[in-house]
Structure 1
């Protein structure tokens, strides 16, 4: 696995597993950190965003500002988490400028090519069908193709499944992509960091993703740190 180079952008893909909030929160924090993001969303991913977050995403011409300003109804308004909605409009516009959106079926985008340099790719959440397509190098859309690119170029690829329980085939697919160099990071939040809200459980997973792709964050209290 090559060293991470934060001068290059991060690819973020959202697919049709439950847990859309993880991907949206990750998008918010990447854009707020000034990280350049290349975003793509599958039709199933958009359907889950609609069902779980009550947000509509036009896959042909996505308006990303609703994702950047999204705050869950259950969020703790007094905490540091999930406060993207409190940012000034100008800041949100600047964050939007850090994001390049690509249609999931457009193979003529930069992230479909290994010659386009990136620091990492995250699939969050990662559906079982997406995992299978990546594991068997049988890309049927841009998301799976971009993931294959990251594996063949020996770049960081982080997959965030949320399915439970897991079948033998899914476990075999996870083993296969892990052996090829991907990081399997299931959405299994820990409880040792002073959990006081649903926000802190979401941020546990997002913090671990950011750690894997080299983006500094202080979302959670870390073990052994005051």
Structure 2
């Protein structure tokens, strides 16, 4: 049985990155543990005009609808405040964790070793256990403080994949641009489940 992968969703703009990442992970029959920060709920409301459910079972149905993957894979959702959840412990084995998108507030807390909610605690666990943690920061421009915090995370072994798409695959849609970033994010975990055109040379 596959080990689960944690998908953290923070309150940064660009929630489409999380939706597309989850879609491809489910289509590849992965087990995904989802935790969205408190701010992510507000961003959903602001960007999509949609209220994300807080109850885990309702939220799982919400993600199934958004990804349009009704049956494949498995989703376990957690409340942002549930610091007693399975993913809060290093004894709960995982493939690693993605934070997509990752706000600069989340970056700062992780760089300082602070855990004020389940998302931050789960990420802190991945770092201390030496597991894979991949973040997709969605901010521009980066301030010196942002860069120093990102450097601290990189020095701790965190993989950083900024939400910067490529153009050599001749993207035609927003999804083409998003999927490139999602594919490069999952590459860090050696998961190849996003159908993109990879660089073939000149």
**TM bucket by the smaller chain?**
over 0.9
Q: 1:46 aligns with which of 22, 41, 66?
A: 41
Aligned to 1:47, what secondary structure does the other structure show?
Answer: helix
1:26-77, Cα deviation, whole Å (9 max, x unpaired): 111111211001000112112212222333212234433333333xxxxxxx
Is 1:155 the counterpart of 2:155 in the alignment? no
Once residues 28 and 111 of structure 1 are traced to their aligned partners in structure 2, the CA distance between those partners, rounded to angstroms, is 21
Which structure 1 residue ranges, 5 or more long, are not aligned?
1-5, 71-83, 86-90
Q: 1:214 aligns with which of 170, 190, 196?
A: 190
- In structure 1, the partner of 2:64 is 68
Q: 2:179 aligns with which of 203, 218, 221?
A: 203
User: In the TM superposition, what is the alpha-carbon distance from 1:178 to its structure 2 partner?
Assistant: 0.5
Matches within 5 A, 1:1-226: 7-61=2-56, 62-70=58-66, 84-85=67-68, 92=70, 94-95=71-72, 98-224=74-200
For these two proteins, the number of residue pairs brought into alignment is 201
Once residues 64 and 38 of structure 1 are traced to their aligned partners in structure 2, the CA distance between those partners, rounded to angstroms, is 10
Aligned to 1:65, what secondary structure does the other structure show?
Answer: helix
Q: If the length of structure 2 is used for normalisation, what is the TM-score? A: 0.93
CA 1:201–1:132 in structure 2 vs 1: closer, same or farther (change >3 Å)? Answer: same
Aligned to 2:126, what secondary structure does the other structure show?
Answer: helix
Superposition RMSD in Å: 1.8
Aligned to 1:31, what secondary structure does the other structure show?
Answer: helix
Once residues 47 and 64 of structure 2 are traced to their aligned partners in structure 1, the CA distance between those partners, rounded to angstroms, is 16
User: In the TM superposition, what is the alpha-carbon distance from 1:218 to its structure 2 partner?
Assistant: 4.2
1:167-196, Cα deviation, whole Å (9 max, x unpaired): 111100000000000001110111111211
Given that 2:134 and 2:161 are in contact with CA atoms closer than 8 Å, whether structure 1 keeps it comes out as yes
